[in-house]
Structure 1
Amino acid sequence: MFRLGLIGNPVSQSKSPDIHHKLLQEYNIIGHYQLIHTEVEDLGKNIEWLKDEGFTGFNVTVPYKEKVIEHLHYLEDSARVMGSVNTVKIDQGKLIGYNTDGKGYLKSLLTLSPNFLENAETKSILLLGAGGAAKGIAHQLLQFPFKQVDVANRSIERAQSLVNQLGLSNILTLNEATEELAQYDLVINTTSVGMTPHEDEQVISLNYVKPGTIVSDIVYKPNWTSFLMDAKKRNCQLLFGESMLYYQAVKAFEIWTNPEYNVNQLRG
């Protein structure tokens, strides 16, 4: 039996149990996914409990995606580069940290636009925000030869840190991003702006976006954010936050249920 879970604070509104129980049913796997509300002082204790109870693995959400690393034995490459973990597999008593955000985002993008990677060298991408989600998505996008992958953020210093670490192309203020939108083929809101209960907020105006641009929002509550409603009015293609949520969960499920993702991969 696969025992799976989610550590975080808060976790009560998470959609992860619904997604993973459907995946377990779809693949005819016996298992259960549970929510584990965790106070910061209980993080280490709860991780040890998961290991002792024979859990196959668990997801990690805010505010522990970075702090959990000190409790792990190994990190796969993307988690190491990002300094952030959202998926842990327990294998032979060892805890292996992964980050599936970037791969989940790329899969959601290609589900909407299967040919987006074709002629990548002619396409420009703008990331709005410079936090953990931006880092995960940028790390995956930079595996491809896009013309440019730029970042706009309220804090230029934080954006500079992202550029220094990953090698993004340019840094813009949010005002500059608003003015320069017409040059981008994909615009991604990686911030929490527009999330319930602040549904009326929007990270930037889309006044200058060109029709046909893919406008993406990783916020999934609400699914129709103000940002995406604005994009719809301007005849853009829409990529919803629920899509990334689903595909990063699918990638985590694959890690837990596929024996090829094991501790021996990371030894030596």
Structure 2
Amino acid sequence: MNQELLNAYRWQRRHYVGNVYPRNRDRLTWNPASEALKAARADVANGKARYPQSSGYGPAYKERGSKHMRWIEKPSTCGLRFVGYADKIAGLNHSGYYVDNDQNEIVRGVVFQMPGRNGHARFIAGYEDWNNGKADSDGPVSLDFGEVISEFVGSYGDDNAGTRDAARAADQIAEWVAESERNYHAAWQAGNRFAELGEEIAETKTAILDLIPEIRKAGAMLDTFPHAHKILHQTLCSRLADIRKARKERRALSEGDYIDEWIPGWNSRDLDLVAAFNNAAGITA
């Protein structure tokens, strides 16, 4: 098979045709290999150049509760049809989960349909990539290929049960992802605050080192100005107290303690969160 024919075949293979079941003609499925080859040969004969688009499959990775998640850049190029958002399909009383403690962004569970097989509709659960587009506009998603939910429909069946099961699974995945993201953000914010306090301590130390020579230079003269002497002493003590307070907070941050609603604490035994903390804190060890 020459390259021109191969490109045309790959393009046609990813092209969509109506579902083989009469009642589901509007549903999309992959073009069968035999039909794709016929169409590809016709393209070559007619001088029609085809440029197959990458499916954008990412490598498999583990997510809490799933061992075979995959990020997909453009689901339609993989023969996947967007069915709907999990919260809408399952009739849930929310529209996603917050992925950050500032509550600015949400992640939503999604359900996609794969090409059917042997009279079964096949559904797959996952979540929308909230950073890069909308799932209902063929935007990137992460899907759990480790568990395909199959529902027999035949010529008379009803695939609503399958979509509801997939929706519940997708909502659970989205909830897990949101929790993981919030934990990551909490660790990163703690590390960022740790770094800021380090800078504050360094600046305070510099101010103290600048103040001490001035006090020594004034020497006995300060005895004749007790009020000025008292102010300088209070300033020095206050800055030393600031350093002690900052060091105490840094210890709490590094141990994952609760600081406030913006830095709600993190699990310092989780290696991924430790890495997030160290990255924000500028710790390379």
TM-score (norm: length of structure 1):
0.23
Rg (Cα) greater in structure: 2
Q: TM-score, normalised by structure 2?
A: 0.22
